[in-house]
Amino acid sequence: MAPLGLIMFSSVLLAGVWAAGPKTLKVTTIMEEPYAISKGSELEGFCIDLLSALSKKLSFQYNIQLVKDFRYGAMDDRGQWSGMIGELIRGEADIAVAPLTVTAKREMAVDMSKPFMQTGLSFILRKDLLSEDSQFLSLFKLFSTDMWIGVLVAYLLTSVCIFLVARISPCEWEQPEKEQNSFTLSHSFWYTVGALTLQGAGPHPRGLSGRVITAIWWLFSLVLLASFFASLSSWLHSESQQLSIKSFEDLANQNLIEYGTIKDSSSMSFFKNSINPTHRQIYEHMHKAQSYSMNADEGFRKALKGNYAFIGESVSLDLAVARYCNLTRAPEIIGMRGYSIAAPLGSALIKNLSVGILSLSESGELDYLHSKWWASSCVARDGKSAPLKASSLKGIFLFLALGLSLGLLIALMELATKSRSVAKSQQKSCCSVLSAELSQRFRGGDVTSAEEKSKA
């Protein structure tokens, strides 16, 4: 069966080529990114690559010409077709290779192949015009996850360092055998929280080492809180000025943002002929306000400028979002349809072109072309300002780490100075006295003097 199918497939292709004759096909297209764009004196784009792949598969030659009136094709009141559809009907072109939407009226005027791309209607607008639905924990999104982890680690390390310094420094705990240390581990954690919230939680450190650590932590807390409240202010300000527009119904029920689509396009015809009340409301508004665009590029420019939502084919809008990072596409897609190649009624080319398109789809070549021409240049996809990351405040984190290290070093130097003085008076080695001091301060050991040993 496989050889028979291959023979039949080849026969179909050969029949189409024979029917087309030896002449070179005249191909009409329209300048629209990324389907056909100018590169010097030549054209490139998705449709140009698609045409090249089909010509290799079906073995035909072609010449490309741009449509004279820069239109896709619509029928006027006199029944005359404009754009590429009109050129096919008048015999000025053999095929039209462009993002031509399959509609009932066009199917009656020309023959159309199997779709080479599926699309639908949606709209784009500036990201700063949209707001996300408020969530219970939205406040925590002001900082990124790594930022919150960094703050938690900084809090724990600072609390532990205050606890260690309070035990090591003789200025904080002069007589461990007689005095109770006020800076327990729980109090150290509480003291650090109090400083973070700009509230006092005495007693305060008395020694230089403890004061260095607390002063650095206070400065860290001020910078951290200032950054948080700055992000909070920006977030609240943007929330008050943004709208929640996620569907065509939301778009139709507001009057702050203007909207429109390409004049005399299939998108406009969809809303004009729809029986959906929301869609009819959208068409009536566009018709009354005359908020149309002559082409997609003009619609993109209007959307970039401000209060304008451009309605168009979702695949074209996805390209605009990939190129212009401050635009976003609404999640709703309506009126699913396809892009096809068109030819005059009765053309023998359509059958072969459809088979060629299906073959390219099955081999993955259409997916490759889509990924090639729809590659995004944007890094950030979120309409809101990005959460503050730890890398943005790495300087203050480094400053805190240096302060903690300096505080511990000063505490050890204070204890070493006392141990050296005791060792000199008791004629012992400084290391043994220092070891005994640390043992007593952390394990409750006794420091036995030379006099006590002699009395024993």
pLDDT tens digits along 86-124: 999 999 999 999 999 888 889 999 999 999 999 899 999
* 266 belongs to an annotated ligand binding site: yes
pLDDT at 430: 63
Does residue 24 or residue 204 have the better pLDDT?
Answer: 24
Q: Per the domain annotation, does 174 fall within a domain?
A: yes
CATH code: domain of residue 210: 1.10.287
User: Which amino acid belongs to residue 14?
Assistant: L
Q: Per the domain annotation, does 116 fall within a domain?
A: no
Q: Per the domain annotation, does 301 fall within a domain?
A: no
* 452 belongs to an annotated ligand binding site: no
Q: Which of 185-199, 291-305, 415-429, 432-446 has the lowest mean pLDDT?
A: 432-446
Q: 330 burial class (0-12, 13-18, 19+ CB within 10 angstroms)?
A: buried
pLDDT at 178: 66
Among candidate residues 44, 62, 40, the one with its CA nearest the CA of residue 369: 44
SS3 401: helix
Supply the range of the domain harboring residue 180. 138-237
Q: Which of 150-154, 201-205, 236-240 has the lowest mean pLDDT?
A: 236-240
pLDDT at 110: 95
pLDDT at 101: 86
Distance CA 358, CA 50 (A): 12
Residue 424 predicted with pLDDT over 70: no
Q: Binning pLDDT at 50, 70 and 90, where does residue 193 land?
A: confident
Q: Answer for the pair 99, 37: CB distance below 8 angstroms, yes or no.
A: no
Q: Per the domain annotation, does 438 fall within a domain?
A: no
Q: Which of 68-77, 312-321, 359-368, 433-442 has the lowest mean pLDDT?
A: 433-442
Tokens coding 120:
């639908």
**Cis previous bond, 203, omega within 30:** yes
Q: Per the domain annotation, does 180 fall within a domain?
A: yes
Chain mean position to CA 40? 33
> What is the average pLDDT across 230-238?
67
> What is the average pLDDT across 431-446?
61
126-183 residue pLDDT tens: 887 665 444 445 566 777 778 888 888 888 888 888 888 877 777 766 666 666 666 7
Residue 203 predicted with pLDDT over 80: no
SS3 441: helix
Does residue 164 or residue 321 have the better pLDDT?
Answer: 321
pLDDT at 167: 77
Q: Per the domain annotation, does 424 fall within a domain?
A: no
* 106 belongs to an annotated ligand binding site: yes
Q: Give me the number of domains the chain comprises.
A: 1
Q: Per the domain annotation, does 223 fall within a domain?
A: yes
Q: Per the domain annotation, does 228 fall within a domain?
A: yes
> What is the average pLDDT across 355-383?
83
